[in-house]
Structure 1
């Protein structure tokens, strides 16, 4: 271990051993047992009036491990987990790590084709499924049952009726006390390099890919963040993001375990109740998606948002007006750059980088990875020049190993021995990384390159606009190198903003080449289970429903 001087969330310096264990010791069970040994009576989890110490939680992990092992789960066995946020989800993630099995976390709101894709593309033979999700699973499985299924009752039986058969063997989720969960069996001790999770990428531009994640990868991700943010054992981490998502796992759950701190778990994100959920538990650190922060910003201030102990907000991407957020919420903001495949690549300390240009994603972690900005031929571009962000780790097994069943995509993304992120960015003279946008999220109009992310930020700043999603549509000029701009938008509660009114706002605020041509108001935007907008769905809709848009050039509905 190394010794670092870091700044804690209350602003004081703290000298402590580096949180990251040696690489070969980075297994989920090693990290968990270290926390249990050091703070057995410390509070680990708070959830809806329930409190678990580390010792009490360890009993639950042992019971879950025993249940899985008794059913035949062994190292490498794939186990789907389809639950809402609840303590059992955490016990299962830790038990799967203890056994050396492979967890397949699936968002609890997944349904239809997306749910079928998650289950079929990962060849799961075991599953822990909420009773509220059983009908959705049955609709996509048909007669192709899983091998072994546990049903966890999460709603009263009279609300859902009879639970359908989803597995050839099906039992209630009811782990029993065990005298020995196999912890001393040397053949069952996982290694840092073993596969641990199949984590789905967001799938905003097409079908999600299952990233094969080793035991060492999420631990490295989590504890590099904890070190950079200066978090300590007194933190209370709040998350309402789904535990199927890397954010909840690596920005909240695993940092808390690594520090021996406390997790406060919410069921789901609510704009109206967010600060009311955070305030009573004296939470000190929260991690948010950028879209969540913008929605909170648009909500009228509440007493809870100013009367709380939150001192650090980790948010991706960094908001443009971050100082205003700091002033309103009285918390220091930090950000990072990373993906499911590898994170963090760069990170800022809380309170740093407020005066830097838009897209700031923190200083590159040069002790952790190499970063290059490359052109279309994979040749490195000069400092300050925009290109694709490519990453190569210093240590093995802390980057995604491959995409499960998707060899071609694996080779494409790891060509020339660098992981190609698919993101545009640049590096400045201070070695700070800037995110510019997705390669697939830019367009060219009237001879000018348009950043879709930048355009969406401007549109969302307009009064009355809740969310805006911009896509490229073919130009009717017949020039294949040119695009037209289409935007879908939703309105804030209590407003009646029309497509024509949005066009007038855009005309007043935007350069002509950035002004959307096609504008459509919708009640909701299609999203992934992690709340990212499904641009692939919007593109398909625009192909067949362009007549439902307002045309800014003709000033009328098409």
Structure 2
């Protein structure tokens, strides 16, 4: 099947004029685009389609449902919902009302759930019925919930008592709520970080931040009116939420799958007619591990946003599936700040800095380093409220991350003379061994090029000398065989001798967050086990 090609690009400068600063709120964008695109599909869940015009009704009726439940402008509404239509009923309704949605990971429970409900101060929870039993296992006296609305079929509805209030069923009201005046600086959502290294922080995302998310994503991906955007990622994270705004801003349609499925991915692309989709870096090797078919190239997919994919895997993927992978840098706190369209991309880099943003690369004292020297990436936005405004209820963490008036990303990068940025590592994932700084990301890339390796995580563990040693947990492809010595032989030509792992664990699974990030602190906590291979005790000799 011939792939879609870019025809006439959208007038990007005109978009910023059409949506003046004061108009960069979700309700205003919804109304403006409903007038423009009317009966065009805005979003679809497995055949359930909602047009641009219908989205206005859903937003205003959802707002009325929330209003009747006691929600007012500025209140927080906790939402625990997978990729299903009710997610947008609540999200759009809260935005219409001027309330703040707090989408929570559907996998959370226990102390993490307790923390997020406490920290956000949400008085209303809207959640899938199957989730609500988790509330019985937390200390309800420490949370502020006064109402719970349950999503699900009637027979699924639990008879649950929360802080002396019984839960009721979520249902769109028959009437519409009026829309209050909102500012682009008003909070739209509080999104909790995955908490891979500590307690989760609630990132306060303003309405205007998502205008700029849409603007920069769509510009880099060269989205045109009528494009079909497919996401398999969870709506409670920035990536998928941004996809909704990309569709809204450009007059495109978003198709939402329940979840990512390697075996069903190509079928989803074909059935939806998607021209654009989104992957996390780890998903590309997973897809490459599926059996090849003669239909791998039979689709209309033009481009995939897939940050963090090793160059070798990206080339193999593009050749096999006949589409383009684009890299980039973004975070919940910032925006899509680094990235280049296909015509300007440079393999092995994230791309160039986007207009409207400033970047510095600094040392541990926030002193700028020279071109070609690695350091921490600091960011700042020129456009109003293009970045998050801080961490909810955590002024100390806000000051720490935004010290010296720059957002400290915690990412170690390097910039070349042509202005392209290359990701090195998370600062906290840098391994210090015998006077050398080792990038776990670079070691992972080297190990990942072995054809028997399906996935890998590299992290520091303490040695007898009380310094860091390099350890790797490795998942092999089904039916693949590989010895630690063979893996060492493969790595030695690819990385410095001091970066070659000392410890190897072959494992079946790696601990991950809901969005696929490896929880390395869990691996560090586990550390060396009786099954761990130790290079120094095996007789294996490194070439120096």
What's the TM-score, normalizing by structure 2? Answer: 0.92
Rounded Cα–Cα distance in structure 2 between residues aligned with 1:498 and 1:143: 53
Rate the CA distance shift 1:64–1:306 in 2: closer, same or farther, 3 A.
same
Following TM superposition, by how much is the alpha carbon of 1:498 offset from its aligned partner in structure 2, in angstroms? 5.8
Unaligned ranges ≥5, structure 1: 1-7
Out of 339, 342, 354, the residue aligned to residue 350 of structure 1 is: 342
SS for the counterpart of 2:517 is coil
Out of 369, 372, 381, the residue aligned to residue 381 of structure 1 is: 369
Following TM superposition, by how much is the alpha carbon of 1:283 offset from its aligned partner in structure 2, in angstroms? 0.3
Out of 280, 284, 308, the residue aligned to residue 289 of structure 1 is: 280
Report the equivalent of 1:319.
Answer: 310
Answer whether contact 2:307 2:327 (CA < 8 A) is retained: yes
Answer whether contact 2:148 2:162 (CA < 8 A) is retained: yes
Rounded Cα–Cα distance in structure 2 between residues aligned with 1:318 and 1:523: 22
Whether 2:216 is the aligned partner of 1:224: answer: yes
Q: What is the correspondence of 1:49-88 to structure 2 with a 5 Å cutoff?
A: 49-88=47-86
Report the equivalent of 1:11.
Answer: 6
Q: What is the correspondence of 1:472-511 to structure 2 with a 5 Å cutoff?
A: 472-478=460-466, 482-495=467-480, 497=482, 502-503=487-488, 505-506=490-491, 511=496
Out of 252, 261, 282, the residue aligned to residue 261 of structure 1 is: 252
Following TM superposition, by how much is the alpha carbon of 1:506 offset from its aligned partner in structure 2, in angstroms? 4.4
Rounded Cα–Cα distance in structure 1 between residues aligned with 2:294 and 2:85: 29
RMSD: 2.3
Out of 193, 206, 229, the residue aligned to residue 214 of structure 1 is: 206
Rounded Cα–Cα distance in structure 1 between residues aligned with 2:10 and 2:233: 31
Rate the CA distance shift 1:406–1:17 in 2: closer, same or farther, 3 A.
closer
Out of 181, 184, 187, the residue aligned to residue 189 of structure 1 is: 181
Report the equivalent of 1:46.
Answer: 44
Whether 2:121 is the aligned partner of 1:123: answer: yes
Answer whether contact 1:471 1:486 (CA < 8 A) is retained: yes
Report the equivalent of 1:428.
Answer: 416
Rounded Cα–Cα distance in structure 1 between residues aligned with 2:376 and 2:390: 20
Following TM superposition, by how much is the alpha carbon of 1:212 offset from its aligned partner in structure 2, in angstroms? 1.1
Unaligned ranges ≥5, structure 2: 540-544
Following TM superposition, by how much is the alpha carbon of 1:74 offset from its aligned partner in structure 2, in angstroms? 0.9
Q: What is the correspondence of 1:127-526 to structure 2 with a 5 Å cutoff?
A: 127-142=125-140, 146-153=145-152, 157=156, 162-166=158-162, 168-178=165-175, 180-183=176-179, 188-250=180-242, 252-321=243-312, 322-354=314-346, 356=347, 358=348, 360-365=349-354, 367-478=355-466, 482-495=467-480, 497=482, 502-503=487-488, 505-506=490-491, 511-526=496-511
Rate the CA distance shift 1:217–1:12 in 2: closer, same or farther, 3 A.
same
Answer whether contact 2:8 2:224 (CA < 8 A) is retained: no
Following TM superposition, by how much is the alpha carbon of 1:508 offset from its aligned partner in structure 2, in angstroms? 7.3
SS for the counterpart of 1:258 is helix
Deviations 1:75-122 (A, max 9, x none): 110101101101111122211111111111111122333333322222
Following TM superposition, by how much is the alpha carbon of 1:463 offset from its aligned partner in structure 2, in angstroms? 2.8
Rounded Cα–Cα distance in structure 2 between residues aligned with 1:282 and 1:519: 43
Rounded Cα–Cα distance in structure 2 between residues aligned with 1:79 and 1:531: 25
Rate the CA distance shift 1:11–1:17 in 2: closer, same or farther, 3 A.
closer
Report the equivalent of 2:108.
Answer: 110
Rate the CA distance shift 1:488–1:73 in 2: closer, same or farther, 3 A.
same
Deviations 1:142-189 (A, max 9, x none): 5656211100016963xxx845334624210112211x3213xxxx22
Report the equivalent of 1:4.
Answer: none
Answer whether contact 1:79 1:128 (CA < 8 A) is retained: yes
Rounded Cα–Cα distance in structure 1 between residues aligned with 2:260 and 2:155: 23
Following TM superposition, by how much is the alpha carbon of 1:386 offset from its aligned partner in structure 2, in angstroms? 1.2
Rounded Cα–Cα distance in structure 2 between residues aligned with 1:379 and 1:33: 46
